[in-house]
Amino acid sequence: MSDRRGPDHRAGKIMTPDEIVGRLESGMTLGIGGWGSRRKPMALVRALLRSGVTDLTVVSYGGPDIGLLAAAGRIRRLVTAFTTLDSIPLEPHFRAARERGAFELVELDEAMFMQGLTAAAQRLPFLPIRAGLGSDVLRVNLLLRTVTSPYDDREELVAVPALRMDAALVHLNRADRFGNARYLGPDPYFDDLFCEASDTAYVSCEQIVDAGRLAEHAAPQTLLISRHTVTGVAETPKGAHFTSCVPDYGRDEPFQKAYADAAAGPESWAAFRARFLAGSERDYHLAVRAWHKEQR
Amino acid sequence: MTRAAERTVTRAEYCVVACAEAWRDNGEILASPMGTIPSIGARLAKLTFAPDLLLTDGEALLIGDVPALGAASGVTEGWLPYRKHLTMVLGGRRHVMMGASQIDRFGNQNISCIGDWARPRRQLLGVRGAPANTVNNPVSYWVPRHSTRVFVEKVDMVSGVGYDSAAAAGPSATRFHDLRRVVSDLGVFDFATPDHAMRAVSLHPGVTLEQVREATGFTLAAVPDGGLPYTREPTDEELRLIREVVDPRGLREREVRA
């Protein structure tokens, strides 16, 4: 019998953001983790913008991930409960795209969305919830149905369909090369559910640490994501920028404001794209650093 | 400054007291205020007549102290990430005070979009948690600028469920549906009428009923003989807590100007 405590020579699942995006195809249903302008896998979204992948159904508690993809015309259908920059309530690209009828919207309540992810993770066709009853969510989403409890209460509830995805993108603070991943901030959001509810899942992280050292100095429940749900892992320092990734960094509020201001008009947005989004991920961070120097 | 001048209560401070009153006798539940004045109100309630309330730091922590608005909390008493927060909504141990881009006479609220949903004239936030909130836990509303643009005959996208919509949807929708009050910069309103149509409960000092009617896009339920009372005065202690402890930077005066 071999020594199972010996060095671990398994190759792992490390990929570059461009390799991850290379696994995505136009027309896919893509989940994006995080919440609003918090811990969004922005480096992967930027890599997606550099690719030709389009015609996507995107499932997200929306933030600038949705704004950027909408501005680039990559979304055919959006499944969400909101799209916001948090400190700036209205996401300008999302708003403009909706007002010009750029994509189909499936608008769900936040708790309905969670129920849909949970149903998908558990391979159920739907899960019931009270939320949605009496609201126009049921009026505008023609696919939504209700279900009657088989028990004595006979309650009629909303049957939220499973939000099953082809691929999910999430960003965590730390991961090992096998795809186990930790969050260090106060909120896991729904990133583990996104991975479990998706046929493939890709984790970007601030830092890849040696396997076996991931749990050092940490409570085990911060190990949010387990490798059996992960297809690939990428190290992308500042990969959630300009959204927050506490405690590694907070939201870059001045830059987020510059993003939102630039989104107001076609010329200012073209200038923003040319300056920040035309090159590689490294070019992006250099351009952001230079921009911050100018603001002093 | 003279003592009389110190005691002069601003409109924003009446609004704070009116919001705080929403959480009176609520017991050991989460107060979820959205907006500056509701946040001051919830903290004032916790410091005075509703000490058992739970409050969050606006992120994922339940706080055990009552810091000034904008200041960091020094005491964490619990963990409430979004997944637990949503579960708490569904369990009903929470009273949220939401904003409203539009609200109608039966308390239907819209924060999603203005115009036809299929191609909105103005996209707003999306429904967020309003559909779940309104059929699961007590809900109140805060409107910092009372106008016919907000108080409308019919909302464009029912996000928060009103009394008529809940009734039409059936017993599962009405079972835990409970709209408590609407506070605006002009007065306090509720739905305690036979058909749950909105009525004025009190006016803030300096506001006339005529002014409220002009700023409301539907007919409010009849006012009782003898007219309406004014929104209650803050006590000296409440005024001190608002000005010195909860909102020393005077953020309330930016949300509702004198």
Distance CA B113, CA B102 (A): 10
Predicted confidence at residue B88, as pLDDT, reads: 97
Is A131–B135 a contact, with Cβ atoms under 8 angstroms apart? yes
Q: Is A16 exposed, middle or buried (0-12, 13-18, 19+ CB in 10 A)?
A: middle
Q: Which residues of A touch B117 (CB under 8 A)?
A: 107, 136, 140
Instruction: Divide the 258 residues of chain B into consecutive groups of 10 and give the mean pLDDT of each group.
Output: 68 98 98 98 98 96 97 97 98 98 98 98 98 98 98 98 98 98 98 97 97 98 91 98 98 94
- The two three-digit tokens of residue B31, written as one number: 């107060």
pLDDT above 70 covers a percentage of chain A that reads: 97
User: Domain map of chain A by residue range?
Assistant: 17-282
Helix (H) or strand (E) holding B76: strand B76-79
Q: Are strands B61-63 and B55-56 parallel, antiparallel or unpaired?
A: antiparallel
The H or E element containing residue A167 is strand A165-175
Query: What is the distance of C-alpha B151 from the center of its chain?
Result: 14
Note the pLDDT of residue B258: 77
Cβ-based contacts of A140 with chain B (< 8 Å): 117-118, 157
Alpha-carbon span B37 to A50, nearest angstrom: 44
Q: Is the pLDDT of residue A261 over 70?
A: yes
Q: Which of residues 64-93 of B touch A (CB under 8 A)?
A: 79, 81-83, 86, 89-90
B-chain CB neighbours of A62 within 8 Å are: 126
Please write the tens of the pLDDT for every residue from A188-207.
999 999 999 999 999 999 99
Is B3 in CB contact (< 8 Å) with chain A?
Answer: no
Interchain proximity A134–B119, CB inside 8 Å: no
Instruction: Look at B128 and A82 and tell me if their CB atoms are within 8 Å.
Output: yes
Q: Do B172 and A81 touch (CB under 8 A)?
A: no
pLDDT higher for A287 or B257? A287
**How many CB atoms neighbour CB B102 within 10 A?**
25
pTM: 0.96
Q: ipTM of the assembly? A: 0.95
Cβ atoms B143, B187 nearer than 8 A: no
Residue among A99, A137, A157 minimizing CB distance to B123? A99
In CATH, the architecture of A17-282 is 3-Layer(aba) Sandwich (3.40)
DSSP, residue by residue, B105-118: TT--EE-SEES-TT
Structure tokens at A222: 């911060």
Q: Are B19 and B142 in contact (CB under 8 A)?
A: yes
Contact (CB<8Å) B86/A111: yes
What is the token pair recorded at A218?
């940490």
**Cα of B159 to nearest chain A Cα, Å:** 6
- Name the band, by pLDDT with cuts 50, 70 and 90, for residue A3: very low
Spatial neighbors of A269 by CB under 8 A, at least 6 apart, are A71, A262, A263
Contact assignment for B81 to A189 by CB distance below 8 Å = yes
CA B53 to chain centre: 16
Nearest to B157 among A81, A82, A136 (CB): A136
Residue A2 pLDDT: 43
Average pLDDT over residues A228-243: 98
Output b/e per residue, A158-177; b: 16+ Cβ within 10 A. Answer: bbbbbbbbbbbbbbbbbbbb
- C-alpha to C-alpha distance for B109 and B130, rounded to whole angstroms: 8
Residue A1's pLDDT is 39
- CATH architecture observed for domain B3-242: 3-Layer(aba) Sandwich (3.40)
Which pLDDT score, from 0 to 100, does residue B2 have? 43
